[in-house]
Amino acid sequence: MKRLVVIMITLSLVLTSVPAFAAKGSRGASQQAYEHASDKAVFHRVSDWFATVGKSPEEKEKIIAERDAERAVKRAEKEAAKLEKQAKKETKKAGKETKRTKRNLLGN
């Protein structure tokens, strides 16, 4: 009876952990949250705070402005890459549609 209970508990633990492995190849939740975060997200503020601890107010403003500019550049690069990827996808789709239309017109 004890073995049966142990086996049932083990099976239930194994079967409940299977959905956690369903998203193979994707990034973790924290990486996705970091990528989609605004400039005022808590981890940006904390890292800015660590970067400006013990600095004068002028230095703090300068450091924060530089970091905000770097984030804006990264965001713009990411958006450009996203648009480029979308354009390639649409071009490929249009090429397939053209081939399909040619085949239909030629009667093949």
Residues 64 and 58 sit within 8 Å (Cβ to Cβ): no
Highest mean pLDDT among 21-25, 26-30, 60-64, 100-104: 60-64
> What is the pTM for the complete model shown?
0.54
Domain borders along the chain are 27-106
Over the stretch 4-26, which tens digit does the pLDDT of each residue have? Answer: 888 988 888 777 765 555 555 55
Residue of 64, 41, 38, 42 lying closest to 51 (CA atoms): 64
Q: How far apart are CA 2 and CA 10, in angstroms?
A: 12
Share of the chain above pLDDT 90, in %: 33
Q: How far apart are CA 48 and CA 59, in angstroms?
A: 12
- Cα separations in angstroms, 92 against 85, 87, 95, 98: 11, 9, 5, 10
Side chain identity at 31, as an amino acid letter? Q
Residue 56 tokens, joined: 């004068």
